[in-house]
Amino acid sequence: MIPEKIEVNVAGGLDVALPRMVRVRQKFACQEIDSVSAAVAEQFADPAITDQIKPGMRIAVGCGSRGIANVAECARAVVDKLKELGAEPFIFPAMGSHGSASAEGQVKVLDSLGINEQTMGCAIHSSMDVVELGQLDNGMPVYFDRHAAEADAVMLVCRVKAHTNFRAPIESGIVKMLVIGMGKIRGASATHWYGFESFGELLPQAAEFIMQKINFLAGVAMVENAEDRTALVEVVPGTRVMQREPELLRMARDWMPRLQFDDIDVLVVDRIGKNITGAGMDPNITGRNARDTDWDAGIQIRKIAVLGLTPETDGNATGVGAADVITMRLYRDFDPAKTYANVIAATLLDGACIPMIMNTDQEAVQLALKTLPRTLPEEATLVHIANTLEISEIDVSENLLPYVRANPEKFEVVGDAAPLAFDAEGNLTPMPSHGARGDE
């Protein structure tokens, strides 16, 4: 049992010099669309979509757990267009283990994203029941949400982006959501049994199998820019998914944000959570991934201190194992049942490992600085971010300013140097956040 306060005997104590910090804006190329609903309406003019929709058709629209920018607006626009064409749409949670792997929990996840029966104007049917569509040649059973399987046709709303655990021409997007999200926890568990190293081939195979068994009309793919805003919405007909999704992923990679440094001594992250990314904090940003995966994100970070969980993650601390040190505040918010269900389904148990716990934010930051090999705390480089989704504005230690000023195409200094601001209880003033919405 963890006590209320942990007394740690650290040689020399934790009272180390803390760097002065400067607010910096990172510059990214950012395409953005004006209206998500207008983009959806325009896409629905495609005969490849409209010719397949007949009056009276019950169409299941899958929505996932990720807090994608404008996802509720997009889902509502899809529902409205289906109604205009005479169809009878309903929404279902296309999620594996999220929401505690329960029907009620997954409805709660959708509601946290602004997706409910009132905002969508249609029913939401949630169940963990699945049907088995058959087996792949390797023997893997392929599962599909029962409500969706009983509908006349299926669509989904998702984001296309780089995955946090594997590299392939198709990663997170329509294909993955067809197989893992719509397969619920049984589908997620069956797929993850084969390991992330197999996903590049396995997911497309399973998705093609599903589309042979299910009337899959289209995936509504959203791509975000580096500032977490909608850059593109495209309704991809089922017949074009395998050709188009790799192209969308290349766009997503080009537009994704990054910390534009080669190496950082200490990264301080205010919050991690499933609404940020499926991995809690994105290894495409931190350069840290599961222990058994060779991962190159172009950055080396020596120590990561994570201070808390997002409210939206509701205790699911998946990914906490990638940190070196956390706070007592985070530990008290940690929900083992929700976290364990998630990492067990993904077969990456280290994602739930508890790092060293310090009593306060200040102690966590000081410990990270104190334990840097061959580096004095006052000479360390430190970067402070809200989360791995919102990194347009970051705080950097004063000793990074020469690099920042030498790269005006990447950075703009927007504040004066100031000490790290801790209150009387040792809580660090958080970076501005807009209630980040995230993925996997």
Ordered mean pLDDT values, 10 residues apiece, the chain (440 residues):
81 88 93 94 90 96 89 98 97 88 92 96 97 97 98 97 90 97 94 92 98 98 91 96 98 92 97 90 85 66 97 94 97 95 85 95 97 93 96 96 97 95 94 65
Distance of CA 51 to the CA centre of its chain: 34
Alpha-carbon span 153 to 85, nearest angstrom: 14
Looking at the fold, whether 354 and 230 belong to one and the same domain comes out as no
Is the residue at 244 inside a domain? yes
What token pair was written down for 74? Answer: 């997009």
Beta-ladder partners of 224: 230
Looking at the fold, whether 283 and 315 belong to one and the same domain comes out as yes
3-state SS assignment for residue 362: helix
Is the residue at 162 inside a domain? yes
Q: What is the pLDDT of residue 291?
A: 56
Q: How many structural domains comprise the chain?
A: 2
Q: What is the pLDDT of residue 274?
A: 87
**CA 95 to each of CA 48, 248, 270, 320, 344: distance values in angstroms, whole numbers, following the listed order:** 27, 22, 26, 21, 15
Q: Is the dihedral of CA 170, 171, 172, 176 positive or negative?
A: positive
Looking at the fold, whether 266 and 295 belong to one and the same domain comes out as yes
Looking at the fold, whether 68 and 214 belong to one and the same domain comes out as yes
Looking at the fold, whether 153 and 197 belong to one and the same domain comes out as yes
Dihedral angle of Cα 303, 306, 307, 312, to the nearest 10 degrees: 170
Looking at the fold, whether 316 and 298 belong to one and the same domain comes out as yes
- Look at residues 211, 235, 255 and tell me which one is the last residue of a structural domain: 255
Alpha-carbon span 436 to 433, nearest angstrom: 7
Is the residue at 427 inside a domain? no
69 is in which domain, residue-wise?
A: 36-255
CATH of the domain at 107: 3.40.50.11440
As a whole number of angstroms, the longest Cα–Cα distance in the chain is: 75
What token pair was written down for 249? Answer: 């992923």
Beta-ladder partners of 130: 145
3-state SS assignment for residue 301: strand
- Look at residues 255, 274, 290 and tell me which one is the last residue of a structural domain: 255
Looking at the fold, whether 244 and 262 belong to one and the same domain comes out as no
Q: What is the pLDDT of residue 439?
A: 47
Alpha-carbon span 295 to 276, nearest angstrom: 20
Looking at the fold, whether 97 and 112 belong to one and the same domain comes out as yes
Looking at the fold, whether 58 and 201 belong to one and the same domain comes out as yes
Is the residue at 439 inside a domain? no
Looking at the fold, whether 83 and 229 belong to one and the same domain comes out as yes
Beta-ladder partners of 236: 219
Query: Is residue 241 a contact partner of residue 48, using CB atoms and an 8 Å limit?
Result: no
Alpha-carbon span 193 to 187, nearest angstrom: 10
- Look at residues 210, 237, 255 and tell me which one is the last residue of a structural domain: 255
Is the residue at 406 inside a domain? yes
Is the residue at 154 inside a domain? yes
Looking at the fold, whether 366 and 310 belong to one and the same domain comes out as yes
Looking at the fold, whether 196 and 292 belong to one and the same domain comes out as no
